[in-house]
Amino acid sequence: MSDVKNSSMNIVIRIQIDKTQITFSDIAKEIGEAGGDIVGIDVISSSKTHTIRDITINVNDQKHSHLITERLKSIEGINVMSVSDRTFLLHLGGKIEIQSKNPIKNRDDLSRVYTPGVAQVCKAISEEPNKAYSLTIKRNTVAVVSDGTAVLGLGDIGPLAAMPVMEGKAMLFKQMGEVDAFPICLDTKDTEEIIQIVKSIAPAFGGINLEDIASPRCFEIEKRLKEELDIPVFHDDQHGTAVVILAGLINALKLTGKKLSEIKVVLTGIGAAGTACAKILIGAGVKNLIGVDRNGALHRGEKYSNPNWTEFANLTNPDNLSGSLSDVIEGADVFIGVSAPGILTVDHLKKMANDPIVFAMANPNPEIDPELAEPHVRVIATGRSDYPNQINNVLCFPGIFRGALDCRARVINEEMKIAAAEAIASVVSENELNETYIIPSVFNQKVVEKVREAVIKAAYQTEVARKDPLRVESQLS
């Protein structure tokens, strides 16, 4: 597959210019000739003979960045002081911080927020643990927990390297859903140890968002934590992804006029996201779904070391097809990829039924380059923000947790997930719906609002809510 473009590849080159030797327009010409696109210039300092400027340049990739830098270094009168990638700059010192709601201005404040005043509050919670919801951060705080073993599509890169993703999730929780989320990356891959650690830290949190934990371990961890904790536990890569896929599919099928019950779906990557996606689609009415992993289609009669795959094969593939992706893609109406980059080809697309729908969601690089796929499909969606139709679990997790926290749900159940998917789909009106707009933008403010409301209603109807904020809100309005 050709490398999918990376729109965030902007570099900032800080240079000192000897004005007696070279002008800025000469420098701009050099950068232009090397194929760089100057998108910003900042003057850092200036004297009679020298200026220091930060030049922001859009480049194709690291190699291109290196080429431009070397070219500038070779020019008389230019001193290249530093080169930084804007993405890296955004990560300097981490992306989030903790802030106090009130300043401690004097001794009196100190004695209230801390000892001795705080002791009364501690005692009140000790006598009535439920008060933790009103007197601590618990009611609005979620732990984003990872072991760093399935980070995006990068695989097992470890807990330290997983932190930037978890910090990013925390930012999204806050900005989109006003939920305070805290990244916790664990230096263990032991299922029991992860369960014990999450249980031990749970008192501080109103919910647990599991993230980027490899399958099949993630299934046992989530199942046990759901059973053993009284706060919602939600593996985002499974359920957040599944919810958004269902939302996108509901709308894409409106364009092709096909029904969930009639379509043939080929799903690649039967890991965390793939398993949950299959379950939600089958629950929503899909009858013909075939799962494909590294060794081909999952089918009955094969002995899989992964028990999850045996269960998967039993629930799917009604015609019990075997073989490779090329074999089973024949006549498929929908392809969904949550697997690996570049595994879907144009030849595969040509074998699909009319009006193919392709959700190529591997991150950061999808199963097929959208530009390659576009001429051969009716709808193409990816997990990326630089193409139309971004199917990403960020459309789900802020709103689903906002709703679950507000109604103090004990769990996030199937009914709440389906309600969330329908709410996301409903944000795109019939008038707006088209091939490049099947799913609302991540920045559409209606998404969180609608998901929250739908989730609260479903929680209430299924009797897992411990509070009914919608009733209070309707009384107030």
Ligand X SMILES: NC(=O)C1=CN([C@@H]2O[C@H](COP(=O)(O)OP(=O)(O)OC[C@H]3O[C@@H](n4cnc5c(N)ncnc54)[C@H](O)[C@@H]3O)[C@@H](O)[C@H]2O)C=CC1
Closest chain position to ligand CC(=O)C(=O)O (CB): 363
Residues from 331 through 350 that contact ligand X (CB under 6 A): 338-340, 343
Comparing CB distances to Mg ion, the nearer of 237 and 367 is 237
Give me the least distance between CB of 169 and Mg ion, in Å please: 8
Which of 136, 363, 444, 462 forms a contact with ligand CC(=O)C(=O)O (CB under 6 A)?
Answer: 363
Residues from 175 through 234 that contact ligand CC(=O)C(=O)O (CB under 6 A): 212
Comparing CB distances to Mg ion, the nearer of 77 and 168 is 168
Which of 147, 167, 180, 237 forms a contact with ligand CC(=O)C(=O)O (CB under 6 A)?
Answer: 237
Is 306 annotated as a binding-site member? no
Which of 391, 400, 454, 464 forms a contact with ligand X (CB under 6 A)?
Answer: 391
| C-alpha triplet 151, 152, 158: angle, nearest 5° | 15
Residue indicated by tokens 């595994």: 343
Active site residue 460: no
Give me the least distance between CB of 262 and ligand X, in Å please: 25
365 C-beta neighbours (distance < 10 Å), count: 20
- Paired tokens of 58: 């859009």
Comparing CB distances to ligand X, the nearer of 195 and 273 is 273
- Write down the catalytic residue from 63, 133, 138, 169: 169
Active site residue 114: yes
Nearest to 27 by CA among 63, 7, 64, 54: 54
Give the contact letters, 283-322, x = binds to ligand X (CB under 6 A), - = no: ---------xxx----------------------------
Ramachandran sector of residue 273 (left: φ over 0; alpha: ψ -120 to 50; beta: rest) = alpha
Stretch that binds ligand X, among 31-39, 137-145, 270-278, 441-449 (CB under 6 A): 270-278
Question: Residues binding ligand X: what is the number (CB under 6 A)?
Answer: 28
Is 212 annotated as a binding-site member? yes
Nearest to 169 by CA among 363, 355, 380: 363
91 binds, among ligand CC(=O)C(=O)O, ligand X, Mg ion, none (CB under 5 to 8 A by kind): none
Which chain residues interact with ligand X by CB under 6 A? 150, 152-153, 214-215, 237, 241, 268-274, 292-294, 338-340, 343, 361-363, 383, 391-393
Which chain residues interact with ligand CC(=O)C(=O)O by CB under 6 A? 152, 212, 236-237, 363, 383, 392-393
Catalytic residues: 114, 169
